[in-house]
Amino acid sequence: MEHRCERCDALFKGPSWKIAKARHDARKNPCDRPKGVKYIKEAKPVPDVFRHRLGSVDVTNLKPPLQGRMTQVVPELLRQVFARDQNVCIVWPNIHKEELIVFLAQDADKGLRRANLDELTLLVVTMAHQEIFPTLKEWPRYAEFKDWLWRTTLEDMENDRWTGDMSKKCEYYQSIRTFLKDFFGRYPGKRRAYRNLHIAAGYYDPQEISSGILDSESVLENDS
């Protein structure tokens, strides 16, 4: 037996036809909408999710682990940073596409950039070096972590800016990449990327990393 809409004759198939019909009947724009009635298209407001840019997130009062593997130190610190609502600066609109949206510059209209997971990893590595590492000097494991980071990446924590040519296969890079994929892509329950859906145009150029995009206003001039 066929199940159809009595108004537009739409066919509903399968064992879940009742659910499909209920959704059809509950549409904001009914199937028998008169020609003179305008189609209702509700504008989805852009949620206020980008409160901080990536280079100016709040990194105060972080608690680095007192034990455990060195590969988990920065992921744990990043988890604390990005778990703060005021630090929302990255969203993953579609988990099936390896493309995220990052707020990099001051202007929310011009500072949004699309980045794949590898590009985001490089940006976060840079942010960690510039913003997080300087806060760790009183940490009891600072010297141990500094030595491990140098042996793993040839990155000196006490330089003003990260300049190392890091291999994508090294433990440090992979630990951060895995964290970002887990945190933004497989968030428990309703994932953050879905709740904070933000559609924006833009293109991220990896070459901008070396030009100091995280702490430079030049990006605004380039986008103007």
CA dist 133 and 89 (Å) reads 19
Tokens representing residue 103 in the block: 């707020």
pTM: 0.63
How do the domains of the chain map onto residue ranges? 1-42, 54-223
SS3 content of the chain, % helix, strand, coil (to 5): 40, 5, 50
| 183: Cβ contacts below 8 Å, ≥ 6 apart | 78, 79, 82, 192
Give residue 196's pLDDT. Answer: 39
Predicted confidence band of residue 187 (pLDDT cuts 50, 70, 90)? very low
Alpha carbons 61 and 146: distance in angstroms, whole number = 20
How far apart, in whole angstroms, are the C-alpha atoms of residue 183 and residue 181?
6
Helix (H, G, I), strand (E, B) or coil at 174: helix
Q: What is the pLDDT of residues 119-134, one digit of tens each?
A: 889 889 988 988 899 9
Give the sign of the dihedral formed by CA 16, CA 94, CA 28, CA 11: negative
Share of residues in the chain with pLDDT > 90 (%)? 24
Query: Residue 136: pLDDT above 60?
Result: yes
- Rounded Cα distance, 190 and 40, in Å: 27
Residue 52 structure tokens: 């901080």
CA distances from 55 to 96, 123, 168, 171, 190 (A): 27, 9, 22, 24, 27
3-state secondary structure of 134: helix
Q: Residue 60's pLDDT is what?
A: 93
- pLDDT at 32 exceeding the cut of 70: yes
pLDDT one-digit tens code per residue, 212-221: 444 433 332 3
Q: Name the least confident of 11-20, 50-59, 172-181.
A: 50-59
* pLDDT at position 73 over 90: yes
Cα separation, 119 vs 86, whole angstroms: 23
Report the SS3 class of residue 146: helix
Q: How confident is the model at residue 211 (pLDDT cuts 50, 70, 90)?
A: very low
